Amino acid sequence: MNLNSIPAFQDNYIWVLNNDDGRCLVVDPGEAAPVLSAIQQHNWQPEAILLTHHHNDHVGGVKELRQHFPDIVVYGPAETQDKGTTRIVAEGDTVTILGHEFSVFATPGHTLGHICFFSFPYLFCGDTLFSGGCGRLFEGTAKQMYQSFCKINALPDDTVICCAHEYTLTNMKFAVSILPQDSALNEYYRKVKELRAKNQNTLPVILKNERRINLFLRTEDADLIEIINRETNLQHPEERFAWLRSKKDNF
């Protein structure tokens, strides 16, 4: 399968996986126009849409895409059933698209019904994990998001993480503010600044690298624990995760 990203809105990415024969699937189409343009340009034949959650910047283009492609199957969590989904999927389900099997697992936090789709090496994680950060807690709790991160962190090292927003620069600016002496954070921050100065994508990312530079995956890290303990003594990793999310909210 070939991975493609389509920019949408100010900082969204709509992901497309296509086979060499042109058949494709579309992930979280917040708007239809850029997807239709790419389909025409590449002569793709879309067979499925994957939805990770119900927010409009992820589902807003579904209705129009279904008008153009009436036979397309739209997979999504129960919270997307009024957004154009034709097949509700949940934790533990598997779906076969383009000859590849996708596992579905629940990742609540950003929304209560948020899900991810995984077909090695690709993980479509919507607004759960971002490079260097994590999604805002609009509906769920920090404990839920921490548990969702644990699920992602259990995937293979070379998992290709396809998140839905270009937030890497601000996430790394925050990370460096927490651990200013961390060489891995500073190196990645410099790289990201260079890419964004050229208006280049920082996504997708590899999980192995993300474990080094995403503080939300480093809640057992001695340096981070030391910093947190200067302010408050938190015994559990989910509490440290919540501390980080609160700091990021006010950054």
Confidence of residue 20 (pLDDT cuts 50, 70, 90): very high
Per-residue pLDDT tens digits for 1-17:
899 999 999 999 999 99
Name residue 75's amino acid.
Answer: Y
Per-residue pLDDT tens digits for 184-220:
999 999 999 999 999 999 999 999 999 999 999 999 9
Average pLDDT, the chain: 96
The pLDDT value given to residue 233: 87
Per-residue pLDDT tens digits for 26-66:
999 999 999 999 999 999 999 999 999 999 999 999 999 99
The pLDDT value given to residue 86: 97
Task: Provide CB contacts within 8 A for 19, sequence distance 6+.
Answer: 1, 2, 98, 99
The pLDDT value given to residue 161: 98
The pLDDT value given to residue 78: 97
Per-residue pLDDT tens digits for 100-137:
999 999 999 999 999 999 999 999 999 999 999 999 99
The pLDDT value given to residue 244: 96
The pLDDT value given to residue 25: 98
